[in-house]
Amino acid sequence: MASKVDITPEYVIRLLKNATIEVWQKAYELHAKHNPVYNQWLNLTKRQIHPAQLEQIEQVPHLPISAFKHHRIILNAFEEKLIFRSSGTTGLRSKHYVAFPEIYHWSLYHGFKLYFGNPERYWHIALLPGYEERPDSSLIYMVKRLMEHSGQEANKFFVGLKPEKLIPLLGSLPSDRKTILWSVPYALLDLVGKEVKLPSNIIIIETGGMKGRGPEWSRQQLHQYLKQNLGVQTILSEYGMTELLSQAYTTPDHPFKFKVPPWMKVWARDLYVPFRQAPYGKAGVLCIADLANFYSMPFIETEDIGIVYEDGTFEILGRLEYCEIRGCNLLYEEF
């Protein structure tokens, strides 16, 4: 496993299909030895741990997500074939160096299929204003890839808010398959402002966050408001980010709790005590292990506050304000 020459994309996909604790142990061992940024951080924080001591994913040291803003994070001896960049709404743009896009493609397809079935069963329409100049956006890439899987000519990408074209298209799609409208929340709120009504049977999947274009809403408030004003029955959510190659989704039976695929694990650390796990059902900083990130960084501490439940589902409550975490910044100052 430690031999970098033998780590092929095909081998990694086999690991994703069988994400046991032994696989996570091996992933940790590999990155602790051969990921320069992770190795440096482990040494600075004195968090080195022997792989054999890891009995659960919560014991693995998770790298702060802010490292993606300042460092090239990838295993030694591998070169990136793709770079995703964040929107930069909070300052510096994160960069995710992707060695093998085919692993991302596999994770995206099978993660979607796990909860919604084959992408081919849907019309995929995207309403993503503000993304015209962001071909390196992971969100743009994700939706385009699902459209390719769907293979339907009627799939359409709107990078600007054009209800005069969007509404006739949604109303004209054949009923032999369901329609998913992928959108950012602020675009949906703009539709409400234009007094637009959507076909009641479409599925909206919102991708979260106002991106600095207005106050943040709770997911419950947002969905209730959009349903009342847009006239739709089903609104779901996708949780993803530049730094992750897998996605979590809410589903009709869990409209506000995200589910993750088997190769992705989520837990929460204590808000005020670094490295200590928060109890299930209590708010904490979300930490995510994603095997699809095998060549970059599978273990990430996000800047999202959420609640993780014993069944592995989680909710998002908001974003982390570092000034509220007493002493936490000091741990990463030198890094």
pLDDT in tens, 170-217: 999 988 899 999 999 999 999 999 999 999 999 999 998 655 556 677
Evaluate if residue 255 carries a pLDDT over 70.
yes
Residue range 96-118: mean pLDDT, rounded: 97
The total of other beta-carbon atoms located within 10 Å of residue 113's CB is: 15
Confirm if 173 and 116 have CB atoms less than 8 A apart. no
Q: Is residue 146 within 8 Å of residue 124, measured between CB atoms?
A: yes
Instruction: Give kind and range of the element (H or E) at residue 130.
Output: none
Enter the tokens of residue 203: 């599925």
Q: What pLDDT sits at residue 76? A: 93
Q: What is the CATH number of domain 103-256?
A: 3.40.50.12780
- Band (pLDDT 50/70/90 cuts) for residue 327 is very low
Average per-residue pLDDT in the chain?
A: 89
Number of CB atoms found within 10 A of residue 37's CB:
19
> In degrees rounded to 5, what are phi and psi of residue 85?
-125, 140
What's the average model confidence in pLDDT over 6-12?
89
Mean pLDDT over 244-253 rounds to 95
pLDDT tens digits for 35-55?
999 999 999 999 989 998 999
**pLDDT reported for residue 91:** 73
Name the pTM for this structure: 0.90
Domain boundaries, the chain: 4-77+263-332, 103-256
Which SS3 state, helix, strand or coil, does residue 177 take? coil
Question: Average pLDDT for residues 71-94, to the nearest whole number?
Answer: 89
**Tokens read off for 262:** 């088997």
DSSP run (H or E) holding 146:
helix 138-150
Give me the DSSP letters along 212-273.
TSS----HHHHHHHHHHHH--SEEEEEE--TT-SS-EEEETTEEEEEE--TTEEEEEE-SSS
pLDDT on residue 38? 97
Task: Return the pLDDT at 328.
Answer: 34
pLDDT over threshold 90, residue 11: yes
**Position with higher pLDDT, 317 vs 4:** 317
How far is residue 309 CA from its own chain's centroid? 18
Q: Is the pLDDT of residue 61 over 70?
A: yes
- Whole-angstrom Cα distance, residue 118 to residue 10? 22
Cβ-proximal residues to 187 (8 Å cutoff; 6+ apart), any chain? 127, 128, 129, 161
Instruction: Reply yes or no on whether the pLDDT at 92 is more than 90.
Output: no
For 321, residues 6+ apart whose C-beta sits below 8 A from its C-beta are: none
pLDDT tens digits, one per residue of 258-308? 999 999 999 999 999 888 999 999 999 999 999 999 999 999 999 999 999
Predicted confidence at residue 2, as pLDDT, reads: 40
Residue 87 CB neighbours (<10 A)? 16
